Amino acid sequence: MNEKELYQKAKQALEYSYAPYSRFRVGAALLTTSGEVFTGVNVENSSFGGTICAERTAFVKAISEGFRDFTALAVTSSEGEVYPCGICRQFMFEFGDDLKIITGDDEEHLNVVEITELLPKGFRL
């Protein structure tokens, strides 16, 4: 699966976003080192702090199915390019520091950055 295909998976996932409060739909697609793809969407809640981002949804799905090694995560939104929030950056950094983050307004204009560029000197216990 290449970067463009992973981005397309994230875009397809937008359909399932549950964002009745912000109306800002986010879709993510996470690629494991063994080639599986886990998608995720933002799932909002009327108690706003209960909201989970698309990126963490994808990670939680993968980890709860036994996958812990990842190569790339693509993310997009109903408004085009989006970068992971601070909580998601730390959450993803937990599982390795060589993850590529793929984003962009569409599959022809992708931006690829390392998690360590988005979160330099991330926290580790």
Indicate if 3 belongs to the active site: no
Nearer to ligand THU, 31 or 88 (CB): 88
Using the contact rule CB under 6 A, the part of the chain among 5-13, 20-28, 60-68, 103-111 near ligand THU is 20-28
**Contact yes or no for 80/105 (Cβ under 8 A):** yes
User: Terminal CA-to-CA distance of the chain, rounded, Å?
Assistant: 33
Instruction: Tell me the site size for ligand THU, rule CB under 6 A.
Output: 13
53 binds ligand THU (CB under 6 A): yes
CB of 12 to ligand THU, least distance (A): 16
**Which residue from 31, 84, 93, 102 is in contact with ligand THU, where contact means CB under 6 A?**
84
- What does the alpha-carbon distance between residue 106 and residue 59 come to, in Å, rounded to a whole number? 22
Helix, strand or coil, per DSSP, at residue 78: coil
State the Cα angle at 3 between 79 and 123, rounded to 5°: 80
- The neighbouring-strand residues paired with 28 are 40, 75
Give the footprint of ligand THU on this chain (CB under 6 A).
Answer: 19, 22, 24, 26, 42, 44, 51, 53-55, 84-85, 88
